Amino acid sequence: MSCPAPTPEPTGQDRWLCHCLQVTEAEIRQAIDRGEVGSLEDVFTSTGAGIGSTACHRRILKVLKQARIDEGMPAERLQPAGH
């Protein structure tokens, strides 16, 4: 799957983390806050982010790791897809 044609990107906390599916960092953080996601695969299921070109996986993992630091999420929940 390739990313769609470029469209204006939101700025600040609403910037797109996943350009293919146009999912913002804020949407992913909200899913984390709701307890819906703790892994990359959870993000795929909950938000749809990451199921296109996969170019955003490192950015999503960075947000998940930051959430772990902020909230004490167990490290074993932070696994790359397929691991």
Q: Which residues bind ligand FES (CB under 6 A)?
A: 3, 18-21, 49-56
- Written as six digits, the tokens of 44 are 């795929």
Over its C-alpha atoms, the chain yields an Rg (Å, rounded) of 12
**With contact defined as beta carbons under 8 Å apart, do 67 and 29 qualify?**
yes
Choose between 55 and 71: whose C-beta lies nearer to ligand FES.
55
Least distance in angstroms from the C-beta of 56 to ligand FES: 3
Choose between 18 and 63: whose C-beta lies nearer to ligand FES.
18
Provide the H-helix boundaries in the chain.
25-33, 40-47, 57-71
Least distance in angstroms from the C-beta of 33 to ligand FES: 21
